[in-house]
Structure 1
């Protein structure tokens, strides 16, 4: 195999990994605060349809700024949808698992409703950040041939890792996730901190969703995220709730997601294409099952993860 083949494969892996990396790093912050939000898939789809709709309707007026405005709108839409979840679980005390699943279903339905008039329509692709002399070079495109969202995702991994381990605010957020009662007793605002974490996670999920409709396939199709939000959830557990491991795990799943394309291109037809397409989801279930059986996550997961907190209780 040539060097060009490996460069093509690496560029593909990095590209398809970006949306789940964005969603997973946002969910990492949410879970570090002690909240479990299973609605990533729904928030990604809401972000995807919002970003596409903004770019489609206002592209001629906004010109080169259209994709940037679309991505910002997708992030805001993801954050807004996450606030529905936050109000229900933080203010009203509803079950986090049931509410997260409801948010996922709500996002799927709402995105299908909003996107019904956009099915099959296209927009200009949110192209690479660097000039063609670098982005189109057979060698240098492995570093410079990506959408701005790819670099944004990598920056967010570093920023979140630094925030959680090196800042006082990150320490407070982790304290809230480890022992919310103690954090509340010494004066930390548990509920506002969790609201902020959920909004951040929703914004990144929305931006991750916009990557599907504006970068990977710049057209609208129902449920175009194809379950990637569930992989992002598994990735947080797979990483042991650590940003560095999350980055490595994301690219591991990215390799699995590209196997279908390269298996077909290489002529490995002894297995059906459906097997290769299902491989990331099979691995996600297997990883969760193995880690649960070995009780690996017991000491790494935030102690208050999924537990409701009522300040007056």
Structure 2
């Protein structure tokens, strides 16, 4: 009589693959680091004229301590910074070869060093000084609509609904914010009304996706086209005829936080803004906790990963998807209000593709609020850098500067995301 031995799943995998088999090394990250380090060394350092100087401004008038503008030797500074960045790239390569994880701080430090080398190179010999505080403040302000849009996509996709309609939700929110603020004379009324427009677009998206089970990507694209067409029509026929009444929103007032706003560099960048930016801080922090540390977040993620299993334990799958998509639309509408918070009048296609960049930020952030925040800040910084360099006059052609935010989106998603796994059941209608 023969004896049959039953193997556990882990033993079976080990027996099939053989002892000592290790995961395949992925060299894409180190290759990108080394390539960027070499580019920084050659183009930003060695090709910079030795006699040039790069000047910086890091102080604001309200700071506790006044820091005078200063200059640094362009080639020497870029050379030192590039060599340190190249050293980090070599270390990242060594870690990868030894199958060790590259620390997050290495990636952040490497990116900051290459960016600093670029700034030194691009401003070398320029009579104007680069205002770092203005650059960073603009980066935060320009990233706020992207942050709200990426959080909207996260709320929808974590529950199983693909939200391509972020562009339309941002645009609808901006339109209603401008009209309501102009009519009432209160920017806060516009900020309250904007989420309603975004929520309405989200409701249309989820109703077609859940009730009629139409392809969610197609519905999202159609809704974007619908909102663009509708707002363009209303702008051409109503807003242009009554610009003083309907298209002259007041500016959201700046609310500097006492003491904190006067800290050099950090204060003006983080603590001297309007209410919508402070609200963004709160929304990111709350969602980071709620998505991963609450029953509500657990149920939402369960619906997006395995709706049938969620249904068997009593979770209303489609109801959860409807609620989260409407909530996501409201968050995106708030991002639309952030677009016009500076008192900007509404114009045709005001969003200019920011909804799609927000979608890329969500993917780059791996469907995490703090990850989406970091990715949106990257794209906002690229946009702010374009504006600052255009104003100061740089050797980089203006057409290339205009492409910076979109190039940053493409390279970040293609080169930095790697293999990411979206929620398993996103885009799949659930039929009980």
Moved over 4 A (4+): 131-139
- Residue pair 2:152, 2:166 contacting (<8 A) in 1 also: no
Structure 2 unpaired stretches of 5+: 1-55, 60-130
Matches of 1:133 and 1:242, distance apart in 2: 32
| Counterpart residue number, 1:276 | 401
CA distance in 1, matches of 2:264, 2:285: 28
CA contact (8 A) 1:161 1:243 kept: yes
- Give the Cα separation in 2 of the matches to 1:174 and 1:89: 18
Structure 1 position 56 matched with structure 2 position 179: no
Distance 1:53 1:262, change over 3 A: same
**What does 1:92-241 correspond to in 2, within 5 Å?**
92-116=212-236, 117-119=238-240, 121-130=247-256, 140-215=267-342, 217-241=343-367
CA contact (8 A) 1:128 1:148 kept: yes
Find the residue that maps to 1:218 and give its secondary structure. coil
Ranked by relative contact order (alpha carbons within 8 Å, sequence separation 6 or more), the top structure is 1
Q: Counterpart of 1:309 in 2: which secondary structure?
A: coil
**Distance in 1 (alpha carbons) for counterparts of 2:302 and 2:263:** 47
Residue-pair matches, total? 299
**Which protein is richer in helix relative to its size?**
1
169 and 137 in structure 1: CA distance in 2 versus 1, 3 angstrom threshold: closer
Per the alignment, residue 151 of structure 2 pairs with 25
**Equivalent-residue separation in structure 2 for 1:95 and 1:264 (angstroms):** 42
Q: Report the counterpart of residue 253 of structure 1 in structure 2.
A: 379
Encode CA deviations 1:150-205: one digit per residue, 9 max, x unaligned.
Answer: 11111111111100111011101000011011111221100010011101110011
Q: Provide the TM-score with structure 2 as the length reference.
A: 0.65
**Bigger CA drift: 116-125 or 165-174?**
116-125
Structure 1 distance, partners of 2:171, 2:258, is 31
Distance, in Å, in 1 between the alignment partners of 2:257 and 2:351 is 29
Aligned CA RMSD, in angstroms, stands at: 2.1
Return the TM-score normalized by structure 1.
0.89
User: What CA distance in whole angstroms lies between the structure 2 residues aligned with 1:291 and 1:132?
Assistant: 38
Quote the offset at 1:251 in angstroms: 1.0
CA distance in 2, matches of 1:134, 1:291: 34
The whole-number CA distance in structure 2 between the counterparts of 1:17 and 1:270 is 23
The more displaced of 242-251 and 40-49 is: 242-251
